[in-house]
A and B are shown apart, each in its own frame.
Chain A
Amino acid sequence: MIETSAFTQPDQDQAPVTDAGPVVVFRNVTIAFDGPPVLDDVSFSIAPGETRILLGPAGVGKSVLLKLVNGLLRPDQGSILLFGEEISHMPEQKLFPLRTRVGMVFQEGALFDSLSVRDNVAYQLIQEQVPDEEIDQRVRDALRFVELEETFDLFPASLSGGMRRRVAIARALIRTPELLLYDSPTGGLDPLTSTTIIELIVKERDVYHTPSLLVTHRLQDALLLCNHRFDPEQGRMVPLPKGQTDPGTTFLMLENGRLIFDGSLHELVKSKNPFVREFLE
């Protein structure tokens, strides 16, 4: 069971999303690395409060797309708007402040192995020279959210794969991001740990309503996200009534770098696209 403590108070210095427009917009984005395009003419958007699940088998460019969202990669063609700002040609120095408004969970966690869990989770706060007492408190709250408070003083090397992902989620959440990016958060984990991670994501979605983009090749995780809600009274994820899905959770699907599906779970299961059918079956 996951605790429901609201660890995150809105940051005083963090600019809130004032416009009601999409948080992310991709327009005809194409990118290639020494060969055929990895992403070809991809267009979609993420609305405030929306959770988008990007499905597709390994190697279709899902992680590349995620890195394009916060400017870690630059597209060859097309435009990307993040919080209403065009970032495809934005200088790196101007991107840093924008990125502090985005929380990103990397495939293997990407924790800094020379830093303790406390310093990993508090990384942004340390850079902002937040007082130590406040850092400790916020880190403990964030770790409580992912049920890993006891790892405060440990180093990443002594954590299991699932624990690393959960610490990475705590690191992504500590500054109350306005957008969350999850890169295969359950990849390589056992089913039980995967469910724990998905439960955390559902909890984040239903408690804080942060718009997010989640990349996965595991259909069962996507369905779990779509068919469940977080119950604050029970403090855990519960299934939605049969036939109901979370209205704010929608799907994208990539095949060979092209976006072949954009819609709800209902539309996904009704899709006639042979690739979608094959993936679902």
Chain B
Amino acid sequence: MAIQTIEKTAKNLVLTVQDYSLFAWRAFTNLYRPPIYWPEFLVQADIIGFGSISIVVLTGLSTGGVLALQSSATLAQFGATAITGQFVSLTMIRELGPILTGVMVSGRNASSMASELGSMVVTEQIDAMRALGVDPLRKLVTPRIAATITMLFFLTIVSDACGIAGGGLVTVFMNHQNGTQYLNMAWEHLRVPDIIQGLVKPLFFGYILSSIGCFYGMRTTGGTQGVGRSTIQAVVWASVLIIFVDFLLTQVLLTLFPPI
């Protein structure tokens, strides 16, 4: 009995990976093939991009502040509090900005995509769309993916900026250090490869979170309970995959742009 359960689970896992790969590939190739639904893209860009600004700003400010607090305490032991700015800006731009934005936006938008599409599946709206001769993958999925990739890129920049600003506020008002020095260190030690690293990641994260959200939404079964299940799975897998892919991407990007 236990072996049968393991076998069934393994088969389901392999089948899910296979289905997701096919889904993600089709969604990716649709990005370059007409028809492209621009109105849907703009609506989604508004929902995903502008709708997520508040959480991204708050997360960025808090994370930058925490980084400044923690790092200055440690750096003070070596008499190196002057490099707090460099530490905060590099950490935010190369790592925390992209990944925190990715995880926060996946919590907000992968779940909304999964529940929205899932509800459409269980009420036969997706079948109705297919019956009306419209490809739901092109009409619903591709605009969401394109909008998420585009907006996550800009949201990451906002998050980076807020992180550095948050770190600056803590440095000046709580650690009572020099603000100009903080900003100089943050700016001067920043290299182009650091910025590239920080801006390549959101492109991948945006694709992951939107394709996972749409994938689980589109394969919803089992009524309203199924919608809830799909939403949970979308958020969990999107977050886990973002963190895992971040590790792989960091390895690749560090190989391409080795630190000096």
Q: Residues of A with Cβ closer than 8 Å to B? A: 67, 70, 72, 92-93, 96-97, 99-100, 102, 104, 106-108, 110-113, 123-124, 127, 171
Number of chain B residues close to chain A: CB under 8 A: 12
Please give, as numbers and ranges, the residues of chain A lying within 8 Å of B134 by CB-CB distance: 96, 123-124, 127
Chain A CB within 8 A of B19 CB: no
- Some 12 contacts from A to B, beta carbons below 8 A apart, are A99-B132, A104-B131, A106-B131, A107-B124, A108-B123, A110-B125, A111-B125, A112-B129, A123-B134, A124-B132, A127-B133, A171-B132
B104-157 contacts to A, CB under 8 A, are: 123-125, 127-135
* Cβ 8 A contact of A99, one of B123, B124, B125, B131: B131
Are A100 and B128 in contact, CB atoms less than 8 angstroms apart? no
* Cβ 8 A contact of B128, one of A92, A102, A110: A110
* Cα–Cα distance between A171 and B133 once the two chains are bound (Å): 13
Please give, as numbers and ranges, the residues of chain B lying within 8 Å of A100 by CB-CB distance: 132-133
* Cα–Cα distance between A123 and B139 once the two chains are bound (Å): 12
* Cβ 8 A contact of B127, one of A72, A123, A127: A72
* Cα–Cα distance between A281 and B90 once the two chains are bound (Å): 79
* Cβ 8 A contact of A123, one of B123, B124, B132: B132
Are B127 and A106 in contact, CB atoms less than 8 angstroms apart? yes
Are A112 and B128 in contact, CB atoms less than 8 angstroms apart? yes
Please give, as numbers and ranges, the residues of chain B lying within 8 Å of A108 by CB-CB distance: 123-124
- Is chain A's interface secondary structure helix, strand, loop, or mixed overall? mixed
CB distance from B56 to the nearest CB of A (A): 26
Given contacts A92-B135, A93-B135, A96-B135, contact A112 B130 (CB under 8 A): no
Nearest residue (CB) in A for B134 is A127
Are B133 and A106 in contact, CB atoms less than 8 angstroms apart? no
Are B133 and A97 in contact, CB atoms less than 8 angstroms apart? yes
Please give, as numbers and ranges, the residues of chain B lying within 8 Å of A171 by CB-CB distance: 132
* Cα–Cα distance between A102 and B133 once the two chains are bound (Å): 9
Are A72 and B131 in contact, CB atoms less than 8 angstroms apart? yes
Nearest residue (CB) in A for B133 is A100
Are B133 and A104 in contact, CB atoms less than 8 angstroms apart? no
Please give, as numbers and ranges, the residues of chain A lying within 8 Å of B127 by CB-CB distance: 67, 72, 106, 110
Which of B123, B128, B131, B135 gathers most chain A CB within 10 Å? B131
Are B130 and A106 in contact, CB atoms less than 8 angstroms apart? no
Given contacts A108-B123, A110-B123, contact A99 B133 (CB under 8 A): yes
* Cα–Cα distance between A37 and B124 once the two chains are bound (Å): 22
* Cα–Cα distance between A124 and B139 once the two chains are bound (Å): 13
Given contacts A106-B124, A107-B124, A110-B124, contact A124 B133 (CB under 8 A): yes
CB distance from A109 to the nearest CB of B (A): 9
Please give, as numbers and ranges, the residues of chain B lying within 8 Å of A112 by CB-CB distance: 125, 128-129
* Cα–Cα distance between A127 and B133 once the two chains are bound (Å): 9
Which of A70, A104, A110, A123 gathers most chain B CB within 10 Å? A110
CB distance from A26 to the nearest CB of B (A): 18
Please give, as numbers and ranges, the residues of chain B lying within 8 Å of A67 by CB-CB distance: 127
CB distance from B99 to the nearest CB of A (A): 32
Please give, as numbers and ranges, the residues of chain A lying within 8 Å of B132 by CB-CB distance: 99-100, 123-124, 127, 171
Please give, as numbers and ranges, the residues of chain A lying within 8 Å of B128 by CB-CB distance: 104, 106, 110-112
* Cα–Cα distance between A123 and B125 once the two chains are bound (Å): 12
